Structure 1
Amino acid sequence: MCGIVGLLGNIEDGEILLDKMLVSQHHRGPDFTGKFISDSAKLGHNRLSILDLSENANQPFISNCKRYILVFNGEIYNYLEIKEELLNHYNFKTNSDTEVLLASFIVWKKDCLQKLNGMFSFAIYDTEKETLFAARDRFGVKPFYYFKKEEKFIFSSEIKALFISGIVKKANEKVWASYFAYGSYGLPNETFWKDIQQLPAGHYLEYKNKNLQVFKWYFFENEIKKHQQKKSFNVVKEEYKTLLKDSIKLRFRADVTIGFNISGGLDSSTLLALVNKIEGKEKIKAYTFYTNDKRYDELPWVEEMISLTKNPLEKIILEADINLKDKIENIAHMQDEPYGGIPTVAYSEIFKKARKDNVLVLLDGQGMDEQWAGYDYYLKNNNATIQGTKSSPFRKNALTKEFLQKAVKPKYPEPFKDAVLNKQYRDLFYTKIPRALRFNDRISMGYSTELREPFLDFRLVEYAFAQPLEYKINKTTQKYLLREIVSEYLSDSITYAPKRPLQTPQREWLGEELFNDVENYIEQLKDSKVSNWFNFTELDKLLKEYKQGDKDSSFYIWQWINLAMLVNN
């Protein structure tokens, strides 16, 4: 898990800029910083050592023939199996997945992507042809941002590195307006900042002769068709369980200490139960957060689960103390774009503590709701993407008419005949998963730790997604087949517990302990370069109503203060 940067083309003081970009991403890889410099390309890498801790696996990684230069962020979990295929084609010098990735590209070119089971963004420079090939994993676990203008092409793992390179920080007003009006975080290629794009999940790019082309390589819709033959419930249950165990085993490949994150929900409980069925993994440490607020904390369910498995548990508290404002702003700096709120701050404290404990890899349960239809809105005939609120979480009336006109209501592809499948597809590629992965990548990397998502193994997602709706939802019981698997290991109180959104007392804190800070952020907005986005008479009225008790949703309050942190950063 690392950070990558690159500058191609005629860029003045390119090596100096490269050094500054690498410094801005140092948290992503504090173990080694490497560079490749030529007249036409400058590549850099921040290394967090997870596999093959020797210096032989440092990057940029140069092929045996000296032609290809690789910078790579992520993990190829099935690297040992791929390496076995390549033994007659490449002379390996390390035990790293990095070298396996480069060798697979040399042998199979872009077709290597189909063989990779992992999370990755990488770039390979061909010194002979002076061309660049870059790719991103199927679900976009690892980031890839870029700037292309005239004869310049610059890329990085984080947006802040692109700003460091000299790109002007200017708001993409269409994306911001859509965020305030509809809660959209942009399309897969967009960011909140003008002229900065991201390579969409499941895509690759080629840069040659100063021209950039982007291609899709992962055709999820086609893969689903391969699994849609009807099988009995028990057969699907056993086949999925086998895949699930294999996915977890693959993600235990590391040369450093591994732990995992646990909430009181079904998904992380499933992960914990199966981890403890893997030989030798019974005593790895579990991490959870709490806030000492019984209305939101999941600690009782976590402790019930831990009482069954006997794993050591590290409980991390987040409180509304004098340090909370600094923590919120620190995460805003990590994210570069709007993030999910105080629950993200609470979750970040886990990685901070894990790093202190020298636990460098953490597993969590992201991805089950999307593949097994676990959100409450899958049961309803609407296009909601947020659960847990009775009223709309957006306040368009706080925006000026001119700014609101720039908003575009998101319309997502519907490649399937079934409405639930289309919602699952939307959540996987456009809403839930892209947001969660971005939030989680930045906070894990912000504390120089690696986060692995066993449930986002593409084999699991494709297999579960393709199953009949009655295997996912039985009457009103969601994630039905998964619950049937887990019932073999867990008590009914855990197995059949209802879906609970991961929450903190954000509503209360923003209206009480943090309210003075909220008012200060609003004053900053009034004096900022984006003040023309808002009708402050209406905004102040909404803020007053919130303070007086209208707290069904705090999301719009969070949107305003998150913007203030980002535009003034």
Structure 2
Amino acid sequence: MCGIYGSTIGYTENQVKEKLERTNFRGPDKLDWKIIPTQSGNGKVAFGHNRLSIIDLDPRSNQPFNYQGLVDIVFNGEIYNFKTIKETLIKDGFEFKTTSDTEVICAAYLKYGEECVQHLNGMFAFVILDKQKEKLFGARDRLGQKPFYYYHNGLDFEFASQISSIQLYNDKLSISQRAILEYLKWGAIPDPLSIFNEVKKLLPGHQFSFDLKTGKLSTRKYWDIDYLTPPSYKGSYNDALAELEDLLKDAVSTRMYADVPIGVFLSGGVDSSLVSALATKTVANKVKTFSVKFDEKGFDESGYAQQVADHLQTDHTVIRCNYEEGLDLISNFSHYYDEPFADPSAIPSMLLAKYTRKHVTVALSGDAGDESFIGYHRYNWMKKVKFLYSMPSAVRKLGANIVELAPNYRLKAIAKGLRHESLESLYMATLTNIDMSWIDHQWDEKDVMEHEYLFHNKKNLYERISDFDLKAYLNWDINTKVDRATMAYSLEARSPLIDHRVVEFSRSLPTEFKFKGANQKRILKDLLYQHVPKEIFQRPKAGFTMPFQEWFRGELKDMVLTELNEQSLKEIPGINPPKVKKMIDEHLSGSWNRYPTIWKLLVLKQWLNTNGKGLSIK
């Protein structure tokens, strides 16, 4: 896990170094760069790398890495099947001087060309300089675990793991009004947009080629979920259970390989508990597990994590999250996240990473279980309201008018939701904000390209919303949160449930294998219960977030009133200041829980304060 950087722009070596130093937290073990002469373009390409040493700790594997004088590479991530690929390449006559996966990518490129990505199982973002063909070739992993930003002006090309490296010394950037509006809706900036008009994100499952002679950039998709084909699995439920266990055992065991200490994030929920259980079957020593404890009542699930840890006999550490440390992270939030990002669970994720890093360098997580196996609360809520959409629209809207008269804010939110024309648009609203009236922009479901995974009739509703979340929510939100939170403290996070083989298998399963009656993540739970007692999990599903609702009325009230006063609200683009002011007053009075909106605006205001000076918004 590292940070990568590269450019065809003629920056000085000191400027390249400063760009790397901006994100040195991603890889503090070795900062290095190389100016490589070329026959075309500006006559040189800069490659830079912040290394977090995980596999083959020897300096011989430092990057930028040159393979046998043929190609140069900078690479962020891990290739979990690199040993298997390496064995095949050795049989084909390739030689290796390291035990790293970096060298294997280079050899695979020379063997398979741009099709090399089809052979890689992992999380990755890499760029290869092929001087013979006078081009840059790169790719991002299938589900977007590793970030890849790039700037292309038609002639020059610059790329980095985080946008701040591109931002430094680039005076051609302007803030994107479209990105801000999308952020205000989603709480994150959807791919391929970034906060700057001139910088894009390479989409997950995509690769690119940049011609050094002409300055032409081309991208193409090399992988996707099959979202237009209904589940086709023909085996029995028990067959599927056995196959899933084999897949997950392999996904966990390959992610337990490293030349540094490894642990597991254990929240006490289904996904992390399953990963922890399978991890204990992989290694001889005790597995190290880590969880967060909150002081606030209703937010602390550390007791459940402890029960799982006790049963699995792991070496368990509980990390206490308090107001003071949370406040400190909030004030430095934009330094690590680079772009506005409003998932409140980013803060406890950072605290978890900060203290986990004191014990291990790699941590496995349970991310993507909810997306692949239909686990979120909102899926069950969609099932409950589905019958209402069999009613005529006029009748449903009349009922919404009546419900909205209720004093309870939850009922008012439901009433607003029921005015949506379709279940699909209602679902997208549950991911954004049911009440969008405070955003000065007309809502359109087609604003994001991923809508195609939801708005079709080839699958049932639950499969389609699951597909949408895999392509949108997992990528924009979860992967961004985990990458930035862990890399802020030089910790590598690995997610067995995001193994593309597991994701593809989940898409093939009948819906009732995953969601039957009120039983969500059915097959994952049944697999878990083979290792951990069912009784521990017979409780409502909880999220992983901060007690912002209470904090904004107490400890953080002064911050809200200072940062989001009437004058400050007028300086935030894309909002209706009077409506937002009213929403803040509603929250502070306790009449309505508006903390998601308040947090979005605080994060955006902090980013603008730090990055917006002197830049136009267009």
Task: Tell me the TM-score normalised to structure 1 length.
Answer: 0.92
Q: Secondary structure at the match of 1:221?
A: coil
Unpaired runs of at least 5, structure 2: 38-42, 387-422, 611-618
Match of 1:274 among 268, 271, 278: 278
- Aligned residue identity for 2:165: A
Partner Cα distance (1:557, 1:543) in 2: 7
Match of 2:362 in 1: 361
Q: Secondary structure at the match of 1:328?
A: helix
1:545 aligns with 2:546: no
> Does 2:220 align with 1:219?
no
Q: Is the 8 A contact 1:367 1:433 kept in 2?
A: no
Deviations 1:428-465 (A, max 9, x none): 11123431101110111111110000111111111112
Q: How many angstroms apart in 2 are the aligned matches of 1:468 and 1:334?
A: 40
Do structure 1's residue 96 and structure 2's residue 100 form an aligned pair? Answer: yes
Q: 1:161 aligns with which of 165, 179, 199?
A: 165
| SS, match of residue 220 in structure 1 | coil
Moved more, 133-142 or 504-513: 504-513
In the alignment, the residues of structure 2 paired with residue 217 and residue 166 of structure 1 have an alpha-carbon distance, to the nearest angstrom, of: 31
How many Å apart are 1:19 and its aligned residue?
Answer: 1.4
Cα offset, 1:532, TM superposition: 4.8
2:192 paired with 1:189: yes
Change (3 A) 1:553 1:529: closer
Superposed counterparts of 1:157-556, under 5 Å = 157-168=161-172, 170-180=174-184, 182-183=185-186, 185-208=188-211, 209-221=214-226, 228-281=232-285, 283-321=286-324, 323-357=325-359, 359-379=360-380, 380=382, 381=386, 382-383=423-424, 393=433, 395-399=435-439, 401=440, 409-410=447-448, 412-414=451-453, 416-523=458-565, 526-527=567-568, 530-556=571-597
Equivalent position of 1:68 in the other structure? 71
Q: 1:439 is paired with a residue of what secondary structure?
A: helix
Report the counterpart of residue 86 of structure 1 in structure 2. 89
- The residue that corresponds to 2:6 in the other structure is 6
Conservation of the 8 A alpha-carbon contact between 2:312 and 2:532? no
User: Which amino acid is 2:578 matched to?
Assistant: T
Give the Cα separation in 2 of the matches to 1:557 and 1:479: 32
User: Do 2:29 and 2:53's aligned partners in 1 also have CA atoms closer than 8 Å?
Assistant: yes
- Counterpart amino acid of residue 534 in structure 2: D
Give the AA of the match of 1:508.
E
Q: Give SS of 1:398's match.
A: coil
SS in 2 for 1:288: strand
Q: CA separation of 1:318/1:83 partners in 2, compared to 1, >3 Å: closer, same or farther?
A: same
SS at match of 2:217: strand
Alpha-carbon shift at residue 221 of structure 1 (Å):
1.2
Contact kept in structure 1, 2:176 and 2:195, CA below 8 Å: yes
Rounded to whole Å, the distance in 2 between the matches of 1:528 and 1:94 is: 55
Give the Cα separation in 2 of the matches to 1:89 and 1:344. 46
Compute the displacement of 1:110 (Å).
1.4
What's the counterpart of residue 31 of structure 1? 29
Counterpart of 1:332, as a letter, is: S
Q: 2:130 aligns with which of 122, 126, 141?
A: 126
Shift of 1:68: 0.8
Aligned residue type for 2:5: V
CA distance in 1, matches of 2:109, 2:570: 46
- Output the amino acid matched with 1:273: A
Gap change, CA 1:535 and 1:279, over 3 Å in 2: closer
Contact 2:343 2:481 in 1 (8 A): no
Q: Secondary structure at the match of 2:6?
A: strand
CA distance in 1 between partners of 2:437 and 2:467 (Å): 31
Contact 2:140-2:148 at 8 Å conserved across structures: yes
Deviations 1:306-343 (A, max 9, x none): 2212212211122123x433211222221112324442
Specify whether residues 301 and 386 from structure 1 end up closer, same or farther in structure 2 by C-alpha distance, changes over 3 A only. Answer: farther
**Which has the larger displacement, 149-158 or 404-413?**
404-413
Opposite residue 218 of structure 2, the aligned amino acid is: Q
Structure 1 match to 2:389? none
Question: Could you say what the CA RMSD is over the residues aligned between the two structures, in angstroms?
Answer: 2.4
Contact 2:6–2:48 (Cα < 8 Å) also in 1: yes
- What TM-score results when the alignment is normalised by the length of structure 2? 0.85
- What secondary structure is seen at the aligned counterpart in 1 of 2:451? coil
Displacement, 1:561?
0.4
Decide whether the 8 Å contact of 2:265 with 2:290 is kept in 1. yes
The CA distance in 2 between the partners of 1:191 and 1:430, in whole Å, is 15
Partner of 1:109: 113
SS of 2:452 mapped into structure 1: coil
Q: CA deviation at 1:404?
A: 5.4
Q: CA–CA distance in 2 between the matches of 1:342 and 1:376? A: 17
Residues of 1 paired with 2:51 and 2:606: CA distance?
Answer: 29
Cα distance, 1:420 vs. partner? 1.6
Question: How far 1:530 moved relative to its partner?
Answer: 4.0
Deviates more, 1:158-167 or 1:498-507: 498-507
State the shift of 1:527 in Å.
4.7
Equivalent position SS for 1:171? coil
Q: For residues 442 and 12 of structure 2, what CA distance do their matches in structure 1 show?
A: 39
User: Once structures 1 and 2 are overlaid, which stretch shifts more, 359-368 or 498-507?
Assistant: 498-507
Displacement of 1:490 in angstroms is 1.4
TM superposition shift of 1:132: 0.3
CA distance in 1, matches of 2:369, 2:300: 21
Q: Distance in 2 between matches of 1:295 and 1:325?
A: 20
Segments of 5+ residues of structure 1 without an aligned counterpart are: none
Secondary structure, counterpart of 2:223 in structure 1? coil
Task: Give the count of matched residue pairs.
Answer: 556
Contact 1:184 1:431 survives alignment (8 Å): no
Amino acid at match of 2:500: F
Identity rate of aligned residues, in percent?
A: 30
Shift of 1:385: 5.6
In structure 1, the residue matched to 2:62 is 58
Contact 1:290–1:299, Cα closer than 8 Å, also in 2 = yes
1:562 aligns with 2:603: yes
Distance 1:24 1:498 in 2: 42
Task: Evaluate the alpha carbon distance shift between residue 555 and residue 386 of structure 1 in structure 2; reply closer, same or farther with a 3 A threshold.
Answer: farther
1:158-209 deviation digits (Å, cap 9, x = unpaired): 01111113145532111211332x3263442112222110000000011002
- Partner-residue secondary structure (3-state), 1:356: coil
The alpha-carbon distance between structure 1 residues 540 and 528, as it changes in their structure 2 partners (threshold 3 A), is closer
Distance 2:93 2:571 in 1: 56
> Per the alignment, in what secondary structure is the counterpart of residue 289 of structure 1?
strand
Contact 2:342/2:603 (8 A) holds in 1:
no
Q: Against the structure 1 CA distance between its residues 425 and 548, is the aligned structure 2 distance closer, same or farther, given a 3 Å change threshold?
A: same
